[in-house]
Amino acid sequence: DSGVTQTPKHLITATGQRVTLRCSPRSGDLSVYWYQQSLDQGLQFLIQYYNGEERAKGNILERFSAQQFPDLHSELNLSSLELGDSALYFCASTGGDRGYTGELFFGEGSRLTVL
């Protein structure tokens, strides 16, 4: 158990819809990362927050957005969903009280299926 909690574990929705994925980082971790992994694809970095502020952006579509709240949990919002958005979405946290960012701890992921 990494200590990172993601909900929901599975989500099935239709094209054009909007979903929100939630991530609770390890206790005390300040940084939250979001990754996307499509079928047989590598992990694609989407976005990263540090203590509530956006710090790095990867290949995140404009239809996607994220935020980190004062209690440090994060949400990834996916809108106008397309079939190609079907993927595993992972959240990871790191930092603790020293803020080191190399050792990421990943949640078990949210599997999104768009029909």
Partner 1 sequence: DAKTTQPPSMDCAEGRAANLPCNHSTISGNEYVYWYRQIHSQGPQYIIHGLKNNETNEMASLIITEDRKSSTLILPHATLRDTAVYYCIVRVREAGTASKLTFGTGTRLQVTL
Interface residue list for partner 1 (CB under 8 A)? 2, 4, 31, 33, 35, 42-43, 45, 48, 50, 55-56, 58, 88, 90, 92, 94-95, 98-109, 111
Separation in Å, CA 95 to CA 12, 15, 104:
32, 36, 8
Q: Which is nearer to partner 1, 18 or 57 (CB)?
A: 57
Q: Which two tokens stand for residue 92?
A: 């990871």
Closest CA to 63 of 84, 33, 93, 94: 84
Residue 16: CB minimum distance to partner 1, A: 26
Residue 69: CB minimum distance to partner 1, A: 17
